[in-house]
Amino acid sequence: MKAKQIKSGFLRQSILCRLFCLGLILLCPTFSFCLFPANLSRLGEVVRTDTLPNVFSGNHSDLNRLRLKLDAARLFNENQLPETKEVWKTYREKLIPEIIRRTGMVINHELPLNLKETAKIQLNGYSIRNVFFQTRPGVYVTANLYIPDGEGKFPGVLVMMGHSLFGRLEDRYQSVGHTLALNGYVALCLDPWGAGERTTLHGVFEDHGDENNLGSSLMNIGEPLIGIEISDNIRGVDLLCTLPSVDPKNIGATGSSGGGNQTIWLTALDNRVKAAVPVVSAGTFESYIMGTPCICEVLPGGLNLTEEAGILSLVAPRAIKMCNHQKDNNQAFQPSEMIRSFKNAKPIFEMYGTGNKISFQIFDLTHGYFPEDRQAMLGWFDLHLKNKGDGTSKKEIPFEILPKERLMVFPQGERDAQVIGTERYCKLKGEELRLDFLGSKVFDVEKKRHELKGILGIVNKPSISSVQEFSTRKGWSRIALETSDNKLIPVLLRLPSGKAGEFTLVCNQEGKQKISASLLDSLISTGQGIAIVDLSGTGEAFVNPNSTDKNRNILILSRSLLWFGKTLIGEWVNELELVSDFLQSKYHAVQIGVDANKEVGVAALIFGALEERAISLSLRETPVSYLFDNRENIDFFSVAINIPGFLRWGDISLAVALSGGTTTFIDPVTMSGRRITGGELEKCRSEFKNIRKASKGQGNTLFIEPGQNRQPD
């Protein structure tokens, strides 16, 4: 790679000046301490590696938060909606297919529903049917149908659940089904993907991805959780429209929190939904940034596409009423954020002459779906689905909550095999994708590199705008690289004491203080230069310097970047390349290696794959495949590990084949952190060899188990 010109404050010395200074050093070694304070480590003094110095000052601001919040605010202003009906129609026609593409949602109205009922509960004035039906080929969803007694065509309402381990069985969600049936509506309450009876083990309730890595794993097979849920919910509307007791011309949708979010998406994309009531879920895309959204609420690249007002506007000229709560602790769902989107969307409704069909109501409540919300929902549906009343709140009829066991479709532990969770689905889809990948006889290397940049969100590579030097501490030069995308990359530098031009970049997923002293001592003993880098979200480049929850901070940063169409691994790749550029330009580095661990190791690998010259890589506890392993220890890696559509692109073995240097896996693992040894490791070696051959790669691959050395493939 051609070295880039870098603006810096360093003294540019002539050859004569360097010779003069060298003479002074030989005559008076202490002179070098004054002239080259950043290069103390070249003089052979002992360098402490147990406690590395910081580059930045203590208690510094959260630079990542400030940068991304500013970018989101800018895009909010840029994402303006058309001002005429004609232009809006064109905008709408382009927006919907792009949403479908980015969410990975599937629409297949012809797929048989195969509705199956396992129990019926008769109550006073209505019955509940425990059912399951097909939403994707061979994939079934568990649900409850609340059906009023009597003849006739009732309006149907799809009820979508928010974040609850128990899904539709949760008291606050089954309450919606009860009250709808008592007021003359057929209600279909679905378990969202990965919750209720759709968990890994039936009857063992779990979160589908709010605080963990489980739901994010779906990205690796190219099917984001947001799209899977929209697909399920469209199939729910399909089911309602086929029921003899339902009027297909009067379909409603409601839900709270994540379910309210899905209510908005479903209503925007499915014209069969005539009226909607999302609860504690409407806000702005801008407010998601550096907030705490579940992965099911993240639209990859959403901020580059539109704002939430654009999604709400897709509902026009149909009816939508948003209920938000004054005491909601989620910034994204604050009433003030909802009102911003409401005001920007209402002009689109007015273009259709239906400005009265977008509305909101604010309650002095905390986050949840409460009686006040349900009563507002009943009044809104009566007006728009029954043509009764004026849309104001309607008092509920009392009802009783049922034990969760009565509403379960299957006895605990006896779930039908066609109802699967994330683990099973990711394995099945991942194995299908890998089967196609491994069957490829040849790879177009340049095309694969281009595709890899695309899924990582690497579009315009940033540059170094300036270099900041700080005082030397403990033998390490302290440098901050300021980038064109407003980052500061902290670097500790030790120049070579042996052969000039040899450097190793060292990174750790938990930051430089977790780099082992033995590793640094080993590198120092070789005489090569060392550059220790804290990548975004790690070490000093931590998201929130005052927080101790590193995994949560990585989660927030990773999910925020997805809204911009980026990935954290892609950001790390850019940062590694910038440090490499700096070493080449300033210190004429000709041979660069990278030593990194876990998900940072994946970034190092991809950096090597995209680099035009051979890079030596040492990857510690880095996965050898992105195939989902098992639910246990799913959080061995942080959510940063996930790359949208990576298994559709290829796998780790292809990334290694694109790298021209030697790649060494030290303690190789699966995606759940399970160590790979013995015959399983030999199978990996065979795959890597075959993929390198199909790519006409020139490098080598080593696998090193604890206490063992392996020959390259």
**Lowest mean per-residue pLDDT among 19-28, 471-480, 692-701:** 19-28
Compute, in degrees rounded to 10, the torsion defined by CA atoms 434, 438, 440, 445.
90
What's the pLDDT score for residue 549? 66
Question: Which tokens go with 451?
Answer: 């595709």
State yes or no: pLDDT of 193 exceeds 50. Answer: yes
Return the amino acid letter for 557: L
What is the rounded distance in angstroms from the CA atom of residue 645 to the CA atom of residue 270?
25
The dihedral over CA atoms of 373, 377, 378, 380, expressed in degrees to the nearest 10, equals 140
The pLDDT value recorded for residue 1 is: 39
What are the pLDDT digits (tens) for 8-61? Answer: 333 333 333 333 333 433 334 333 333 333 333 433 444 444 589 999 987 777
Across 416-430, 531-545, 650-664, least confident range: 531-545
Q: Taking Cα atoms as reference points, which of 425, 453, 423, 436 lies closest to residue 648? A: 436
Q: Which two tokens stand for residue 228?
A: 């899977």
Looking at every residue in the chain, the average pLDDT score rounds to 90
| Omega of the bond leading into 317 within 30 degrees of 0 (cis) | yes
Q: Is the pLDDT of residue 198 over 90?
A: yes
| Contact (Cβ atoms closer than 8 angstroms) between residue 334 and residue 328 | yes
More confident residue, 138 or 2: 138
- 8 Å CB contact between 644 and 219: yes
Q: What is the pLDDT of residue 235?
A: 98
Share of the chain above pLDDT 90, in %: 80
Distances (CA, A) of 423 to 221, 545, 625: 12, 34, 16
Report whether 586 contacts 6 (CB < 8 A): yes
- Output the CA–CA distances (angstroms, integers) from residue 644 to 218, 224, 230, 431, in the order listed: 8, 8, 18, 16
**Does residue 4 surpass a pLDDT of 70?**
no
Average pLDDT over residues 291-299: 87
Question: In whole angstroms, how far apart are CA 709 and each of 667, 681, 706, 712?
Answer: 11, 13, 8, 10
- Whether the per-residue pLDDT at 246 is higher than 70: the answer is yes
Q: What pLDDT shows up at residue 339?
A: 98
pLDDT at site 543: 56
Q: For 536-565, what is each residue's pLDDT tens digit?
A: 999 988 756 455 566 778 889 999 999 999
pLDDT of amino acid 611: 87
Alpha-carbon dihedral of residues 49, 55, 56, 59, nearest 10 degrees? 0
Say what the pLDDT of residue 60 is: 78
CA angle 416, 418, 420 (to 5 degrees): 95
Per-residue pLDDT tens over the stretch 433-469: 999 999 999 999 999 999 999 999 998 889 999 999 9
CA proximity to 143, closest of 155, 165, 159: 159
Pick the CATH number of 15-70+441-704 from 1.10.760.10, 3.40.50.1820, 3.50.50.60, 3.40.1190.20: 3.40.50.1820
Region(s) of the chain under CATH 3.40.50.1820: 15-70+441-704, 79-431
**3-state class of 102 per DSSP?**
helix
For residues 660-666, average pLDDT: 93
Give the end-to-end CA distance of the chain in Å, rounded to a whole number.
Answer: 27
Counting residues of the chain whose pLDDT is more than 70, the rounded percentage is: 90
In this prediction, residue 37 carries a pLDDT of 36
Q: How far apart (Å, rounded) are the C-alpha atoms in residues 607 and 622?
A: 14
Q: For 270-370, where are the alpha helices, taking DSSP H only?
A: 308-313, 335-351
pLDDT at residue 632 in the model: 86
Q: In 487-516, which positions are buried (b, 16+ CB within 10 angstroms) versus exposed (e)?
A: bbbbbbbbbbbeebebbbbbbbbbbbeebe
Over the stretch 110-142, which tens digit does the pLDDT of each residue have? 999 999 999 999 999 999 999 999 999 999 999
Residue 583 pLDDT more than 50? yes
Backbone angles phi, psi at 404, to 5 degrees: -60, -35
pLDDT digits (tens, 9 = 90+) for 484-499: 999 999 999 999 987 7
Packing angle, helices 85-103 and 225-242, rounded to 10: 110
- 650: helix, coil or strand? coil
Select the more confidently predicted residue: 14 or 514. Answer: 514
- pLDDT of the residue at 293: 74
Pick the CATH number of 79-431 from 3.30.230.10, 3.30.70.600, 3.40.50.1820, 3.50.50.60: 3.40.50.1820
